[in-house]
Chain A
Amino acid sequence: MNSKLQFLGETGILLSSDLAKYPFLPESAEEIKRLDFKIEDVLEPNYASILDRAEKRIVEALTSNPPEVSYDPSADVNVEILSFPMAIVLASATASDYIKRRYALAEARRAYNLLKIESEEKVIEVAKRFGWRIRLASIEIGLEKFDFALHFIDYLKSATTLFHEKGWKLVNRLVVRGEVYLSKQDVARLLQEEIRRHIELKIDPKMRSLIPEGIIKRADSLKMMYAEKIKEEPLTIEGLASPDIEVNLFPPCVRGLYEAALSGRHIPHIGRFTLTSFLLNIGIDPNFIVDLFRKSADFNERMTRYQIEHIAGQRGSRTKYIPPKCDTLQTHGLCPGMDELCRRIKHPLTYYLRRKRRRVSGA
Chain B
Amino acid sequence: MAELDNTLFIREMFSKFYSENFNRIEIPKSIENREFGFTLFRENVMIRHKSFSRADDLRDFIKKSVPSNAYYSSAYYNMPEAKMDEKGWLGSDLFFDIDADHIPTKCNKEHDSWICKSCGFKGRGRTPEKCPNCGNEGFEEKTWPCEICLEAAKLETIKLIDILLEDLGFSADEIKCSFSGHRGYHICIESEEVLGLDTFARKEIVDYVTGTGIDVTLHGLNEVRSRGSRIITGPSLGDAGWRGRAARGTYDFLLTATIEDLRSLGLRKDIAIEIIEKREAILESWRGGGPWSVISGLGVKSWEKIILHGLSLQSARVDTVVTVDVHRLIRLPGTLHGKTGLLKVSFPASRIEEFDPLKEAVAFKGGEVKIYVEEAPEFRFGDEVFGPFERQVVALPIQAALFLLCKGAARVVD
Task: Name A's B-contacting residues (CB within 8 A).
Answer: 1, 141-143, 152-153, 156-157, 160, 163, 166-167, 169-179, 330-331, 333, 336-340, 343-344
- Check if B214 sits within 8 Å of A142, measured CB to CB: no
> Is B198 interfacial (CB 8 A cutoff)?
yes
Tell me the bound Cα distance from A174 to B240 in angstroms.
7
Closest to A338 in B: B321
Q: Which of B46-80 contact A (CB under 8 A)?
A: none
- Check if A141 sits within 8 Å of B243, measured CB to CB: yes
| B127 CB to nearest A CB, Å | 11
A156 neighbours in B (Cβ, 8 Å): 197, 201, 204-205
Could you say which of A152, A336, A338, A340 has the most chain B C-beta atoms within 10 Å of its C-beta? A152
| B322 CB to nearest A CB, Å | 10
Tell me the interface secondary structure of chain A in the complex. mixed
Given A176-B167, A336-B324, A338-B320; A169-B129 close (CB under 8 Å): no
CB<8 Å pairs between A and B, sample of 27 = A153-B194, A156-B204, A156-B205, A157-B197, A160-B201, A163-B203, A166-B213, A170-B204, A170-B205, A170-B207, A170-B208, A171-B208, A172-B214, A172-B242, A173-B241, A175-B241, A176-B167, A177-B166, A178-B168, A178-B169, A336-B199, A336-B200, A337-B324, A337-B325, A339-B321, A343-B321, A344-B130
Q: Which of B163-191 contact A (CB under 8 A)?
A: 166-170
Tell me the bound Cα distance from A176 to B130 in angstroms.
42
Task: Name B's A-contacting residues (CB within 8 A).
Answer: 129-130, 137, 166-170, 193-194, 197-208, 211-215, 218-220, 222, 233, 235, 239-243, 320-321, 323-325
A344 neighbours in B (Cβ, 8 Å): 129-130, 137
Tell me the bound Cα distance from A163 to B242 in angstroms.
18
B233 neighbours in A (Cβ, 8 Å): 142-143
B137 neighbours in A (Cβ, 8 Å): 344
| A1 CB to nearest B CB, Å | 8
Tell me the bound Cα distance from A160 to B203 in angstroms.
11
Tell me the bound Cα distance from A91 to B323 in angstroms.
40
| A88 CB to nearest B CB, Å | 27
Could you say which of B129, B206, B218 has the most chain A C-beta atoms within 10 Å of its C-beta? B218
Selected contact of A330 from candidates B167, B194, B213, B321, CB within 8 Å: B213
Tell me the bound Cα distance from A167 to B219 in angstroms.
10
Given A174-B240, A175-B208; A337-B321 close (CB under 8 Å): yes
B207 neighbours in A (Cβ, 8 Å): 169-171
Tell me the bound Cα distance from A337 to B201 in angstroms.
11
| Other contacts beyond A153-B201, A337-B321: 6, CB < 8 A | A156-B197, A163-B203, A175-B241, A177-B167, A333-B213, A336-B200
| B82 CB to nearest A CB, Å | 21
Tell me the bound Cα distance from A223 to B234 in angstroms.
55
Selected contact of B169 from candidates A141, A169, A177, CB within 8 Å: A177
Tell me the bound Cα distance from A174 to B320 in angstroms.
22
6 tightest CB-CB pairs across the interface, nearest first? A178-B169, A337-B324, A156-B201, A177-B169, A170-B204, A172-B218
Could you say which of B169, B213, B222 has the most chain A C-beta atoms within 10 Å of its C-beta? B213
A157 neighbours in B (Cβ, 8 Å): 197, 201
B235 neighbours in A (Cβ, 8 Å): 142
Could you say which of A160, A173, A175, A330 has the most chain B C-beta atoms within 10 Å of its C-beta? A175
B321 neighbours in A (Cβ, 8 Å): 337-340, 343
Tell me the bound Cα distance from A167 to B215 in angstroms.
8
Tell me the bound Cα distance from A344 to B127 in angstroms.
12
Tell me the bound Cα distance from A336 to B193 in angstroms.
22
A336 neighbours in B (Cβ, 8 Å): 199-200, 203, 324
Selected contact of B211 from candidates A141, A152, A171, A179, CB within 8 Å: A171
Closest to B323 in A: A337
- Check if B215 sits within 8 Å of A172, measured CB to CB: yes
Tell me the bound Cα distance from A163 to B212 in angstroms.
13
- Check if B218 sits within 8 Å of A337, measured CB to CB: no
B167 neighbours in A (Cβ, 8 Å): 175-178
| B140 CB to nearest A CB, Å | 17
Selected contact of A337 from candidates B168, B213, B241, B320, CB within 8 Å: B320
- Check if B166 sits within 8 Å of A166, measured CB to CB: no
Tell me the bound Cα distance from A280 to B104 in angstroms.
39
- Check if A176 sits within 8 Å of B201, measured CB to CB: no
Closest to A256 in B: B200
- Check if B218 sits within 8 Å of A179, measured CB to CB: no
- Check if B129 sits within 8 Å of A337, measured CB to CB: no
Tell me the bound Cα distance from A170 to B320 in angstroms.
15
